[in-house]
């Protein structure tokens, strides 16, 4: 007995030391976790900003994190390259175009790497072909097929901070690009490849808003959004995240933390639906001011055959068709579909080439698509009625309309966009309280 009591305090000390060391090992493990951090164009838009990004990443590395950086081109650069290409040939799409567009990221990642080396860190700038980001061969809209995660991990094991060029991939001997805004997708693909359940996307806004605050003065900040809502928003024209990045995040369970490059506070988390606390009927009003519509009437004979040929050829030329409406009366069929303004030139040429005799074509420009999105719509009837009421009260004509389980969209004249967005925002009680 006596022996037990004298030994007991020692056991107690031993147990608590063991406990502390386990805790320490555990916290070291969590601290040295690998985190993919993506910085957008404005975040690396000048030398000062590149230095600031390098500073922030190095600070994180000092706390024991292992960052993997993904960067976009410096702001405005990709647009400049697009303009150069279109001065030579606005219709060309292919390897040369993608090689040109991908060059912007090469500049930003090298500068970032230099800024980190200056701060005493080992940084490794990596283009897609060096890292092995394999895509399919749909130029300008390529999809990532695989990432060489072993290579990425070995750079980290050797103490490097990998700085990866966003937006680009490789197929065979060619460079591909993932579509405008595609750096987000690079970041999520890397996070998924290394088995991380989180990806940080740094941008020039602190949060995702219920509507574009430049358009709707009363827009509010959102703390959480579901993958599904964010996917709808992205496909409806919100520029916040590249559509494919959210799709990948949902598939691989990578939570996206969208946050500001310039502030340290929490941003908006994009997470599985079950993790969003409240589900309002409508969580956001999203718009796309880059819409054009082609209308055809009357399509008399062999209408179905023509429509099939038309959409086949549009797809072959990589023209993405968005809304389609088709109806029939005794004179013939009426077809209307929307495309982006960039694709309008190609779409018009193809349609005119295939169009049957006696059919008239109407091209409508300066349009915008406005949508309300929310997973809450699934269980709440009457959203369509409220949606249409807003347009009728404001006397705004709707050219096309489409719905899904969690959204309603209307194509309207661009000059009515602001009015429509604010009215929808109020109707669905998203307005922030007046200060
Ligand atoms: N630099 C590309 C673009 O401007 C990719 C990106 O920023 O995500 O579209
Ligand atoms: Mg972006």
Structural domain boundaries, residue 368: 286-427
Strands (E), 166-276: 168-171, 174-177, 198-203, 208-209, 221-222, 224-226, 255-260, 268-271
* Residues 291, 176 within the same domain: no
Do the domain assignments include residue 9? Answer: no
Do the domain assignments include residue 150? Answer: yes
CATH number of the domain to which 378 belongs = 3.30.2130.10
Give first-to-last CA distance, the chain, whole Å.
Answer: 71
CA atoms of 289 and 78, how far apart (whole Å): 19
CB atoms within 10 A of CB 214: 9
Do the domain assignments include residue 434? Answer: no
pLDDT in tens, 291-302: 999 999 999 988
Number of domains in the chain: 2
Ligand 1 centre distance from Cα of residue 131 (Å)? 19
CA atoms of 57 and 287, how far apart (whole Å): 33
* Residues 38, 175 within the same domain: yes
Do the domain assignments include residue 314? Answer: yes
* Residues 190, 55 within the same domain: yes
Query: Which band of pLDDT confidence, cut at 50, 70 and 90, is reported for residue 435?
Result: low
Q: Which ligand is nearest to the CA of 98?
A: 1
* Residues 198, 290 within the same domain: no
Of 91-95, 129-133, 248-252, 369-373, the poorest mean pLDDT is in: 91-95
Ligand 1 centre distance from Cα of residue 148 (Å)? 22
Over 50: is that where the pLDDT of 19 sits?
A: yes
Among protein residues, the one whose CA lies closest to atom 6 of ligand 1: 181
Answer whether 72 contacts ligand 1 (Cβ < 6 A). yes
With pLDDT > 70 as the criterion, what percentage of the chain qualifies? 92
Q: Which residue, 204, 234, 249, sits at the end of a domain?
A: 204
Q: Are 163 and 125 in contact (CB under 8 A)?
A: yes
pLDDT in tens, 278-329: 778 899 999 999 999 999 999 998 888 999 999 999 999 989 999 999 999 9
Among protein residues, the one whose CA lies closest to atom 5 of ligand 1: 181
Q: What is the DSSP letter of 196?
A: -
Q: Are 144 and 135 in contact (CB under 8 A)?
A: yes
Do the domain assignments include residue 386? Answer: yes
* Residues 171, 47 within the same domain: yes
Answer whether 167 contacts ligand 1 (Cβ < 6 A). yes
With pLDDT > 90 as the criterion, what percentage of the chain qualifies? 83
Q: Which residue, 204, 238, 262, sits at the end of a domain?
A: 204
Do the domain assignments include residue 93? Answer: yes
Mean pLDDT, the chain, rounded, equals: 92
pLDDT in tens, 147-195: 999 999 999 999 999 999 999 999 999 999 999 999 999 999 999 999 9
Do the domain assignments include residue 407? Answer: yes
Q: Which residue has the higher pLDDT, 317 or 18?
A: 317
Q: Which residue, 185, 204, 223, sits at the end of a domain?
A: 204
CATH number of the domain to which 109 belongs = 3.40.1160.10
pLDDT in tens, 49-72: 999 999 999 999 999 999 999 999
* Residues 70, 166 within the same domain: yes
* Residues 186, 61 within the same domain: yes
Ligand 2 centre distance from Cα of residue 291 (Å)? 19
pTM above 0.85, yes or no: no
- pLDDT at position 273 is 87
* Residues 98, 199 within the same domain: yes
- pLDDT at position 187 is 98
In ligand 1, the atom with minimum distance to the C-alpha of 182 is 8
CA atoms of 295 and 360, how far apart (whole Å): 8
Helix, strand, coil share (%) of the chain residues, nearest 5:
45, 25, 30
CA atoms of 167 and 155, how far apart (whole Å): 21
CB atoms within 10 A of CB 179: 16
Answer whether 74 contacts ligand 1 (Cβ < 6 A). no
CA atoms of 249 and 57, how far apart (whole Å): 22
> 177, 183, 189: which to mutate for ligand 1, most atoms within 8 A of CB?
183
Query: Which band of pLDDT confidence, cut at 50, 70 and 90, is reported for residue 28?
Result: very low
Do the domain assignments include residue 112? Answer: yes
């Amino acid at each position: 007995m006596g022996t037990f009591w004298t030994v007991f305090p020692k056991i107690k000390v031993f147990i608590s030391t063991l406990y502390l060391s386990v805790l320490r090992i555990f916290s070291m493990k969590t601290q040295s976790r690998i985190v993919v951090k993506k910085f957008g164009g404005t975040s690396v838009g000048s030398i000062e900003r590149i230095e600031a990004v390098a500073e922030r990443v190095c600070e994180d590395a000092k706390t024991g994190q292992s960052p993997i950086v993904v960067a976009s081109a410096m702001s405005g650069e990709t647009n400049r390259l697009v303009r150069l290409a279109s001065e030579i040939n606005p219709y060309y799409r292919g390897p040369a175009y993608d090689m040109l567009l991908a060059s912007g990221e090469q500049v930003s990642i090298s500068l970032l790497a230099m800024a980190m080396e200056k701060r005493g860190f080992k940084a490794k700038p990596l283009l897609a072909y060096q890292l092995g980001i394999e895509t399919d061969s749909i130029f300008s809209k390529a999809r990532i097929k695989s990432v060489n995660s072993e290579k990425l991990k070995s750079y980290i094991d050797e103490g490097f901070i990998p700085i990866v060029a966003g937006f680009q991939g490789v197929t065979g001997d060619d460079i591909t690009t993932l579509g405008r805004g595609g750096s987000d997708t690079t970041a999520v693909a890397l996070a998924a490849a290394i088995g991380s359940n989180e990806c940080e996307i740094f941008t020039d806004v602190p949060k995702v808003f219920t509507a574009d605050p430049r358009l709707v003065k009363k827009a509010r900040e959102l703390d959480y959004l579901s993958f599904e809502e964010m996917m709808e928003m992205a496909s409806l024209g919100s520029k916040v995240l590249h559509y494919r990045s959210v799709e990948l995040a949902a598939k691989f369970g990578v939570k996206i933390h969208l946050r500001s490059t310039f502030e340290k506070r929490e941003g908006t988390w994009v997470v599985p639906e079950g993790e969003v606390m409240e589900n309002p009927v409508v969580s956001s009003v999203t718009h796309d001011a880059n819409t054009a519509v082609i209308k055809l009437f009357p399509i008399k004979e062999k209408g179905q055959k023509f429509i099939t040929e038309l959409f086949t050829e549009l797809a072959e030329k990589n023209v993405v068709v968005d809304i389609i409406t088709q109806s029939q009366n005794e004179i013939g069929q009426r077809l209307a579909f929307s495309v982006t303004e960039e694709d309008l030139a190609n779409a018009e040429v193809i349609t005119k080439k295939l169009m049957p005799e006696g059919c008239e074509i109407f091209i409508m420009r300066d349009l915008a698509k406005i949508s309300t999105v929310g997973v809450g719509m699934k269980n709440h009837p009457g959203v369509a009625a409220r949606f249409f009421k807003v347009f009728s009260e404001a006397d705004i004509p709707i050219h096309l309309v489409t719905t899904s389980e969690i959204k309603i969209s209307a194509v309207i004249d661009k000059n009515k966009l602001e009015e429509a967005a604010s009215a929808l925002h109020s109707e669905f009680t998203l307005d922030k309280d007046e200060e």
